[in-house]
Each structure stands twice: as C-alpha cells, then as structure tokens.
Structure 1
Amino acid sequence: MFEWLSGFSPVKQALIGTLFTWGVTALGASLVFFFKTIKKNLLNGMLGFAAGVMIAASFWSLLAPSIEMAEELGQIPWLTAAVGFLAGGAFLFAVDKFLPHLHIGKDTSQAEGIKTSWQRSVLLVLAITLHNIPEGLAVGVAFGAVAYGLPSASLAGAVALAIGIGLQNFPEGAAVSIPLRREGFSRKKAFLYGQASGVVEPISGVIGALAIVSMRPILPYALSFAAGAMIYVVVEELIPEAQQGEEHIRTEIATIGSMIGFSVMMILDVALG
C-alpha cells in the first residue's frame, strides 16, 4: 500500500508525512470560511479527540517501539524509555516557561512565558504552535527509524502515526481558526493563523528524521522523548481546555472524545503497523 514511499529517503518521507499533517490542519482551519462560531461542547469534544489520539500514539507508536529498540541495541529498556520520556516533558516545560504565548480567550495580561510587547495575534499563534512541535517530531523520528530496518520500526507504522496525527489535526485546525474569528479576526486572517500553527510540524519532523539517521544510538531515546513531549501537551493544555464549559456536560463530552480518539489511533497503529 505504501510502496511508493519506500523510494524516498527517510528525511523526505518525514517531510511528506508532516506536510500531510500540516495540510490537514489547514483543511480544518478552512472551516472558518463556513462557520463564525463553534459550540463549546463540540470544541471540547474535538480537543478530547486530539488528546486521545496523542495519548494512544505516545504508547503504540513511540514508547512501545522505544522499549523494543532499546532491547535490540543492548540498552536498558526501562531506563532508556524513562530518561527519554522525562526529557521530552522537561523540554516542553522549558519551552512553555520561556516562549511568550497567550491561550485563546484570555487577556493579554495573562500571557505566559517571558514578558514581551509582541502583538496579541503573535502570542496567540505561538500558543497554538507550541504543542505541534512534538507531533512533527514524533512523525519525523518514526520515519527516521525505518532506515535501520529494525523489526519494531516499519514504514506502515510511521504512516499510521502520520495519519493519526493528521486526523486529530483536522478538528484542531478548526478549534484554532474559529475561536480566532470569534475574537474579531477576519475569516482570511483566522484561517492563515490557524493553518500557520501546523507549519512547525514539517520543520520539527525533518529535524527529527535527520537526527535519527545521523545517530542510531539515540533512536530509542528520541522515540520516548517525543512521547514525553506529547503527553506533557495533553496533560498541561489539551485536557484542561477540553474540561472548560458547563460542569454537568464538559467532562462527559471531553472524555467520550478522548476515548474515541484513543481507539482510532490504536486501530490505525495495530491495523497498519
């Protein structure tokens, strides 16, 4: 099914995969041309779905292969996975503390990171872009791992991860552009900012693939690093935002969305990988 991709180098495969995820983000962001608002319940469900996909991908596509590869390379599996996982979370924690950004719906005075005089629109885009870094990195590392021919790293598995990330990027793109429209942005500007949040995925994807191709011993660490970064985003940002709204319905909708997202990603990884 994916034979045509095998003719490309791992770096080009990573670029193709992350361009796909970026494209799906833009497709989701294009919904702003048809809708001015989005119901909070639907937004919570979308965020929950994205969280579920990322949680499933962190284990099925990243942590499990990391442990298997560590064994194949003669490393201590549990130590490699734990070190990489915690390092990924620490990296996102540091970026979150230093990069100026502002979450949608909050006043400029509530901007996080280093204090700056940057415009509100720039701060909003940076907040949106922040959690796309580990997604692109995860796809890049997955494709880079295929180059070594290890049993736990398959092209189909990398494609499954890219498809899963792409699926959660569609509602994510809409969840970005439509709220921006509600904040007073024009449809065109809201779309441009919404799709721009995915630009970082091809960049981080290529960087991840290049690093893996150049340094095989870090492969298990890189996989678990990406997993840790993704879980940090889920727990620190996606789940809290998905829980906002009316108390009696917000938890149920976000939880159902997470369950569906997890199941979809698990099916993709097991069926294709």
Structure 2
Amino acid sequence: MTPLVWIVFMSFAGGLLSVLVASGFAYAARPNWVPVLISYAIGALLGAAFLEVLPHAIEAAESPQQAAINVLAGILLFFVLEKLVLWRHCHDEGCHGHEHNGHDHGRSGLLILVGDTFHNFVDGVLIAAAFVESTPLGIVTGMAIIAHEIPQEAGDFLILLHSGYSRRKALLFNMLSSLATLAGGLLAYFALSHVQSLVPVFLALAAASMIYVAVADLIPGLHKRTELRATAQQVLLIAAGIASVVFAHPLAERALG
C-alpha cells in the first residue's frame, strides 16, 4: 500500500478502535456507577494532560513560556465557551445556579469534545509524519497512539454520560470526534510543513480543555460528598485514572522505540 493509503487506514482505524475499546469499558458501567466513575475520568484527564499532552506541547513549542501562554489562552477560551453555553441555557430554559439531576446541561461534555477533537487532529498529524518517514514507523506510531488514547477516551465517554448524553449519543459524538484523526492525517500528508506549525497550539488547547473540565467542572462536584468513605473512594479512583495513563505510556514508548 502507498503511504497515503496507510495514513487513511491507520488514522481511521486507530481513532475508531480506541473509541470503541474505551466506550466498551464505559458502556459496561451501570447508570448509577457513572457519578462514582467520574473520579476515574478526572484522573484519566489530568494524567493525560500533565503526563502526555503538556510535555509534547512544551517540546513542540518555541519555548516553555510560549507553551504556557498557549495553555493559559486555551483555559480562558474554554471559560468563555462555557459561559456562552450557560447563557444559551439561561435564555432557553431559565438560569439555574446548580446542576439538576446530576447533570450539567452538557457543558462538560461539549468542552471535552472540543478539546478531544484538537487532540485527535494532532494524532493524525503524527501518524502522517511517521508514515512519510517509513511504513514500519507509521504502523507502530498508530499502535502507540491507540494504546495511550484508550484511558482518556474512556474518561471522555464517562464525562459525556455525566453531562446528560445518552449512551448512544456519547458513542456517536466520540466517534465523530475521532474522525479528526483522519482529517489531521490527510492535511498533514498534503501540507505537512504548514500543519506541523499548528501542532503546539492544538496540543496546548487539548491540554487546556482537559485541565479546565477536570478542575473547574468535575472536581467541585466531588466536594458535595464529604464523608470519609466517599472521599477515600474518590481519591482511589482518581489515582486509578492517572495510573491507567501511566501504564499506557511505556507501551507507547516501547512501540516507538
């Protein structure tokens, strides 16, 4: 197969496979488990942001300071985007200061989908760059991306359920977001030098969305349960989410090595 065919195949199959595996894990969870498993989603988001995305954003940027500026700008952008969603909700249904029925009217889900789309686009760029170099490198790069995406995608799916999306809609939107991998791969193949210059910004936006949703939207909800048992459960699940990213990292490193 030609490099272009490999890029299309691996970008499409890789993005879809990671979503299906992760969604299968989250899909098996009973509805009453979702609020509890949000702690795991928080850990997976923070682990992916600080251990995977941010280091790459700093490495790809002109300087660490520029990467930090990009992340700060991204956090501000997602704050404004969330405000717009809130304003629309207030206009359409009346404004309420608290979540109802355990949901946040889709705010967290929307923000995480936007950030995940940026991240998936960058994954496509990386796959294309690897296949341009050599086919074996492209294959292992695609496999590495699948390995490190699965914990994050599982967290994303749980957040969509927590935001009030049905399981069917959560799966559909996650699959649509994964198509950004294919878009990134195709654009990078035909204009690699131009697309690569945007990678630091996209990585920073992806990291900003993960950090913002975890810290601003999800963690405050955990404080509603203050009893010791619930707190210990939350800490353990957050640690499990981080650990899943940590354990996926060496798999990716070995594949790329």
Structure 1 residue 197: deviation in Å? Answer: 4.6
1:168-200 CA distances to partner (integer Å, 9 max, x unpaired)? 3465566567xx7xxxxxxxxx43344345255
Structure 1: which amino acid aligns with 2:68? A
Tell me: CA distance 1:27–1:217, structure 2 relative to 1, closer, same or farther (3 Å).
same
**In structure 1, what residue type is equivalent to 2:51?**
W
Q: In the alignment, which of 168, 187, 198 is matched to residue 155 of structure 2?
A: 168
Q: 1:260 maps to which residue?
A: 240
Partner of 1:218: 198
> In the alignment, does 2:20 pair up with 1:16?
no
Task: Report the CA distance shift for 1:20/1:227 in structure 2 as closer, same or farther (over 3 A).
Answer: same
Distance 2:57 2:143 in 1: 16
The 5-angstrom pairing of residues 69-84 of structure 1 reads 69-70=60-61, 75=62, 77-84=63-70
Answer yes or no: is the 8 Å Cα contact 2:41–2:155 preserved in 1.
yes
Query: What is the distance in 2 between the residues matched to 1:118 and 1:13?
Result: 43
Residue segments in structure 1 that go unaligned for 5+ positions in a row: 100-111, 181-189
Q: Would the alpha carbon gap of residues 228 and 126 (structure 1) be closer, same or farther in structure 2, given more than 3 Å must change?
A: closer
Gaps of 5+ in 2: 95-99
Q: Look up the equivalent residue of 2:148 and give its one-letter code.
A: L
Task: Report SS of the residue matched to 1:198.
Answer: helix
* Amino acid across the alignment from 1:195: L
Q: Could you list the per-position Cα deviations for residues 89-145 of structure 1 after superposition, in whole angstroms to 9, with x for gaps in the alignment?
A: 12221211112xxxxxxxxxxxx232333799xx84565333222123213313313
For residues 223-268 of structure 1, give each alpha carbon's deviation from its aligned partner in whole angstroms, at most 9, with x where no partner exists: 2221112111111122223333353333222211111111110121
Cα separation, 1, equivalents of 2:182 and 2:77: 18
- Given that residues 25 and 198 in structure 1 are in contact (C-alpha distance below 8 angstroms), is that contact kept between their aligned partners in structure 2? no
- The answer to whether residue 229 in structure 2 is matched with residue 249 in structure 1 is yes
Q: How far does residue 208 in structure 1 lie from its aligned partner after superposition?
A: 5.3
In structure 2, which of residues 30, 38, 41 is the aligned counterpart of residue 47 of structure 1? 38
Task: Tell me the matched-pair count.
Answer: 233
Aligned to 1:65: 56
Give me the TM-score of the superposition, normalised by structure 1.
0.68
Which whole-Å CA distance do the structure 1 matches of 2:107 and 2:12 have between them? 22
- Give the distance between the partners of 1:6 and 1:163, measured in 2 at CA: 25
Contact 2:40 2:155 in 1 (8 A): yes
Q: Is 1:90 aligned to 2:81, yes or no?
A: no
Could you tell me whether the CA contact under 8 Å between 1:63 and 1:223 is conserved in 2? yes
Percent identity, aligned pairs only? 19
